[in-house]
Structure 1
Amino acid sequence: MKSNNWIYYIALVLVAAIWGANFGVSRSAMETFDPVLFSFIRFGGAVPFFFLILKLKEGNVGVSRRDMLALAGIGLVGVTGLEIAVMYSIKYTTLANASLLNVAPWPIFAALFAPLFVKERFTRRLAIGGAVSMVGVSFVILGGEEGLSLSSDNMVGNMLAFGVSIIGALFNLSCMPLMKRYSPLRVSTWFIFFGTLFMFPITLGSWGKVDWGSLTAEHYTAIGFNILICTVFSFVAWNGSMLKVGAARANFFRYVVPAAAVAAGYLFFDEQVTGLQLAGTAFMAAGLVWIGMERQSKG
């Protein structure tokens, strides 16, 4: 592996940590906003920044008509559909179940489906590192207070969460061929635009429920963090790094998200961190380092 590839792995860890920490940042905002409305504000607020940066950086914002249809489909599934599915999976099952079934299988499906979209092999090193990382992230999630619930009452939510891992992997992979023709910035700009457009009708009943005059600096900080850091910066950095290191490798770095969420809970909400979670973080880090050490020429 070329030494400068570590820049992309560091970027993947940073983005995953940002997304994990955002569970804590958004928690208080969800008491004021309907979850779908908050998602719309996050992605919709990011759209003008995406187009402005794209215009300034690349001189134009266009894509072909055929690719625009593909990007509309990616936005519908990967932004509108995925965000709603995640929210309802959390509603109909426990947070631990949703996290485990959403996060843990996602990279496995990305690695298995990758050959359908790009020329990537599922190597032995990737399998070993991925397995170790998955054990680690399972410890992180199950080591919390909730643990795993096998109640039949959670079946709908469990199925939704597991479906998210499949759809999410396909969503990531479907961007890869487009990023061979366009920059990650251009691809992100357009699928987020379409995802936001399709999400808007679902929010129509929620705007009047918000007491806009009572919003505080904390609310605006959470909105700004979600727009600028969690969306504009993170999507471009993630997609750009995924293009460089490969979709299969990149998606295993999603395992940093639950660990970052646990750390945010400890730092900002006085939540306890267990020994099992610390051990899981160590396992996960070891697996990700092992994956990162593989030469791409072998992948």
Structure 2
Amino acid sequence: MDKKWIYYVGLIAVAAIWGANFGVSRSAMETFDPILFAFLRFGLAVPFFFLILKIREGSVGVPWRVALQFALIGLVGITGLEIAVMYSIKYTTLANASLLNVAPWPIFTALFAPFFVKEKMTMRLVAGGAAAMVGVTFIILGGEDGLDWSSKHMVGNLLAFGVSVIGALYNLACMPLMRRYSPLRVSAWIILFGSLFMFPLTLGSWGKVDWDGLGTGHYAAIAYNVLISTVFAFVAWNASMYKIGAARANFFRYVVPAAAVVAGLIFFDESIAGWQIGGAAFMAAGLVWISLERKPAEEPRLTE
């Protein structure tokens, strides 16, 4: 029996977790500087990654040449990408950032995929992806903020669009490495280096936090970010992406804004418009259409 549906469920679950994290992080940002909060998320996750890696695989090391590859990917895909996301939100509207961060990402992944992995653009992927993109656009445009293309948001818009390009390249750069190492090992090392590069940028922020005044909600937000949104989510996403294919898997990022809308309803009593419900249905249809395509047999993982 074909069990590929397990990996699709994993992609949807992770995208929902990341979508809900918008609401969790929004509350935390009232207390923490954005870069500091991102560092706490990834830095505190590192020991968990390597502990699990040691328990499951018996070792944690990689050759130094491969470590340099992980360092470069961590610098770009964790440090650079997370900072770009935060400042894109700061310098443009949330609707602009959501649309430009999310919608083009899978398109760039599909376009760049032939240069990194043996994945081809198919008509089913194009049709399903187009439907999903239309749906996610309705979800974002259906919100109260709407889009604002005025010149004062140009810097933030460009940053948000750049996130899609960088994010697509980051995902694809991980794929060849996951032919040699497990998704857990790849995630652990990339996040280690991403955290190390991010740390110097937090030095001016630690003293601004009222650590004695932190409550249960703050610690719950940190725990959610570390254990659920990072440790579990990164391993599950990378493992599912490796099985399904980067181009196909990244269209499931469109679940993120839908989950963010639901989180806004639950945590902030925000309303959901009819356009957003319709968009979610359109997006779901596109993703189901993509998931029904049979993926060619994967190449065996290489061993050293």
Q: What residue is the counterpart of 2:302 in the other structure?
A: none
Map of 2:143 onto structure 1: 144
Query: 5 Å matches for 1:42-53?
Result: 42-53=41-52
| Counterpart amino acid of residue 235 in structure 2 | V
What does residue 278 of structure 1 align with? Answer: 277
Partner of 1:75: 74
> How many Å separate the matches in 2 of 1:3 and 1:13?
18
User: In 2, Cα distance between the equivalents of 1:130 and 1:28?
Assistant: 32
Cα distance in 2, alignment partners of residues 267 and 198 from structure 1: 35
Letter in 2 for 1:46: A
Cα deviation digits, residues 6-29 of structure 1 (max 9, x gap): 000000000000000011111111
How far the C-alpha of 1:298 sits from its partner, in A, is: 9.1
What is the rounded CA distance, in whole Å, between the counterparts of 1:50 and 1:10 in structure 2?
A: 22
State yes or no: 1:245 paired with 2:240.
Answer: no
Distance in 2 of aligned mates of 1:99 and 1:47: 28
Q: Partner amino acid for 2:165?
A: I
What corresponds to 2:133 in structure 1? 134
Q: Which residue of 1 aligns with 2:235?
A: 236
Match of 1:29 in 2: 28
Structure 1 residue ranges, 4+ long, deviating more than 4 angstroms after superposition? none
Q: How far, CA to CA, are the matches of 1:4 and 1:131 in structure 2?
A: 26
Aligned AA (1:92): Y
Measured against aligned partners, the alpha-carbon deviations of 1:141-163 in whole angstroms (never above 9, x if no partner) come to 01101111111110010000000
Q: Secondary structure at the match of 2:179?
A: coil
Which residue pairs with 2:220 in the alignment?
221
For residues 9 and 41 of structure 2, the distance between their equivalents in structure 1, rounded to whole angstroms, comes to 24
Q: Kindly provide the CA deviation profile for residues 235-292 of structure 1, in whole angstroms up to 9, marking residues without a partner as x.
A: 0000000000000000000000000000000111110100000000001000000000
How many pairs are equivalent? 298
- Measure the CA separation in 2 of the matches of 1:298 and 1:283: 29
Instruction: State the secondary structure of the residue aligned to 2:44.
Output: helix
Gaps of 5+ in 1: none
Q: Which residue matches 1:117?
A: 116
1:179-218 correspondence runs (5 A): 179-218=178-217
Q: 2: CA distance between counterparts of 1:24 and 1:3? A: 36
Give the whole-Å Cα distance in 2 for the aligned partners of 1:148 and 1:293.
33
Residue 301 of structure 2 corresponds to which residue in structure 1?
Answer: none
Cα 1:298–1:104 change in 2 (3 A) is: farther
C-alpha distance in 1 between matches for 2:297 and 2:236: 24
Taking only the aligned residue pairs, the percentage that are identical comes to 73
Q: Structure 2, unaligned stretches of length 5 or more?
A: 299-304
Q: 1:72 to 1:298 in 2, by over 3 A?
A: closer
| Alignment pair present for 1:174 and 2:173 | yes
TM-score (norm 2): 0.97
Structure 2 CA distance for aligned equivalents of residues 298 and 196 of structure 1: 35
Cα displacement string for residues 57-113 of structure 1 (whole angstroms, at most 9, x for unaligned residues): 000001111111010000000000000000110111000000101100000000000
1:248 aligned partner, one-letter code:
A
Counterparts of 1:224 and 1:165, CA distance in 2: 27
Which whole-Å CA distance do the structure 2 matches of 1:282 and 1:251 have between them?
Answer: 18
Moved more, 251-260 or 146-155: 146-155
Tell me the secondary structure at the aligned position of residue 73 of structure 2.
Answer: helix
Q: Which amino acid in structure 2 is aligned with residue 131 of structure 1?
A: A
Q: Which residue identity lines up with residue 57 of structure 1 in the other structure? A: R
Give the whole-Å Cα distance in 1 for the aligned partners of 2:292 and 2:61.
37
Deviation of 1:166 after TM superposition, in Å, equals 0.2
> CA separation in 2, counterparts of 1:71 and 1:28?
32
Counterpart of 2:255 in 1: which secondary structure?
helix
Aligned to 1:107: 106
Q: 1:116-168 CA deviation, whole Å, 9 max, x = no partner? A: 11000010000000000000000000110111111111001000000000000
